[in-house]
Amino acid sequence: MKKNYYIASVLTLIIVTIICYHSPVFVYISALRNQTATPVFLSDDVGLKAKIDKEASSHESAPINARNDRVWKLIPGLDGLIVDKEKTFEKTKQLHSKQIQWVYKIVKPVIDLKDLGTGPIYRGNEQKKAVALMVNVAWGTEYLPEMLKIFQKENIKVTFFLDGTWLNDHRKEGLALENAGHEIGNHGYTHRMMSQVTVDRMQREIGRTEEVIKQVFHHPSKWFAPPAGDYNTKVVQIANEFRLGTVLWTLDTIDWRKTTSSSSMIQKVSTKVEPGNLILMHPTDRTVKALPGIIHAIKQKNLVLTTVSEVLSTKRMNPPLRVHP
């Protein structure tokens, strides 16, 4: 009888020891001795909140103000992102995720482009992980369908700046551009060198094209791209009177020159493209040939291809989860 009691006592002691050895408290004490403990055994919620508090600052970005650069003229700013700790906690718990699901609040820059007055814009912010293709159209209608096919295949949107005379004569083709989801801009009416004409002619060049744009698309445009990049202060002021920002380009493919090869265009973009760039091109046969390579080179640098409006906005590209206004 005593022997059986002894055996039962020993077995009980062994079982209790095993249970205790594997208990959270024992594991935590052992981890403390080895300096590998995290304070989550007492409360998963407390531990998660502590981890969010500790890591939040490394996931945040301060807002960047717009500025007037000596070389690049007006440069837009960027929104700041701060962690919404409460919503981050809720989202992580809701998804039962092992990884923290960061949720952000937007902090707007103190200084916006509109606060800097009128001026030309050549690029987006250097920290904007995005690039825009700006396609100036005054001729080359026959190449537009193939360009649209490439943009659709690559799932990208661009900005087409349309000559008013061209649009007036090619309304169906113009509509096809917007129907495909692309942005429409103003490129003057008769492709004149804007700095070399009278103020009255400047107003007519921009104004008549804006009228046609409204007739065809039933809304105004946002941007004016002066033909050949030719402008002066008065041109910018008049564009502003039509509520248009004046944009030029950061990088020119020079596809309008017949001696420019498709390979040289691809090489130029692949070696020189940077975040925030506006890349100029036209509808030509060599452009169509070069486009897949140009797009591939840009994507290889992890840059988003989007419209001029998106590149010049303060919105940061691809926030990690979602952004609350």
Q: What's the rounded Cα separation, in Å, for the pair 85 and 151? A: 39
Phi, psi of 323 (to 5 degrees): -120, 130
Residues 138 and 86 in one domain: no
Question: CA–CA separation, 224 vs 212, rounded Å?
Answer: 14
Q: How far is CA 250 from the centre of its chain?
A: 16
Number of domains the chain contains: 3
Query: How far is residue 306 from each of residues 62, 73, 154, 310, measured CA to CA in Å?
Result: 23, 22, 11, 6
Q: Is the residue at 80 inside a domain?
A: yes
pLDDT at 319: 43
Which residue from 241, 174, 244 is spatially nearest to 212, judged by alpha carbons? 174
Residue 322 falls inside a structural domain: no
Give the C-alpha separation, 266 to 246, whole Å: 27
- Say whether both 26 and 140 belong to one domain: no
Give the C-alpha separation, 277 to 250, whole Å. Answer: 5
**Which residues 6+ apart lie within 8 Å of 261 measured at CB?**
286
Within a domain: 319: no
Calpha distance 271→277 (Å, rounded): 13
Same domain, 30 and 138: no
Q: Is residue 100 domain-shared with residue 241, that is, in the same domain?
A: no
Same domain membership, residue 58 and residue 124: no
Token reading at 149: 């096919």
Sign of CA dihedral 32, 35, 36, 41: positive
75 is a domain residue: yes
Domain co-membership, 155 together with 199? yes
- The CATH number assigned to the domain holding 252 equals 3.20.20.370
- Residue given tokens 């004149």 in the structure block: 192
Task: Flag whether 66 is in a domain.
Answer: yes
The whole-number pLDDT of residue 97 equals 83
Residues 189 and 204 in one domain: yes
Residue 303 within a domain: yes
Question: pTM of the entire structure?
Answer: 0.82
Q: What is the pLDDT of residue 320?
A: 39
Same domain, yes or no: 106 and 122: no
230, two tokens: 């030719």
d(CA 92, CA 106): 20
pLDDT (0 to 100) of residue 230: 97
Q: Angle CA(219)–CA(224)–CA(227) in degrees, nearest 5?
A: 130
Query: Is residue 127 located within the same domain as residue 266?
Result: yes
In a domain? residue 57 = yes
Domain shared by 124 and 179, yes or no: yes
Same domain membership, residue 104 and residue 124: no
User: What is the predicted pLDDT for the residue at 174?
Assistant: 98
Which residues are registered as beta bridge partners of 294? none
121 token code pair:
């814009």
Q: Which residues of the chain have a pLDDT value below 50?
A: 2, 10, 16, 19, 24-25, 27-28, 32, 37-42, 319-325
**Model confidence pLDDT, tens digit, residues 288-311:** 999 999 999 999 999 999 999 999
Give SS3 for 69: strand
Q: Spell out the residues 6+ positions from residue 102 whose beta carbon is closer than 8 angstroms to its own.
A: 59, 83, 88, 320, 321
Range of the domain at 79: 40-113
Distance (Å, whole) CA 75 – CA 162:
24
Q: Tell whether 148 and 161 lie within a shared domain.
A: yes
Residue 30 has what pLDDT? Answer: 57
| CB distance 295 to 77 below 8 Å | no
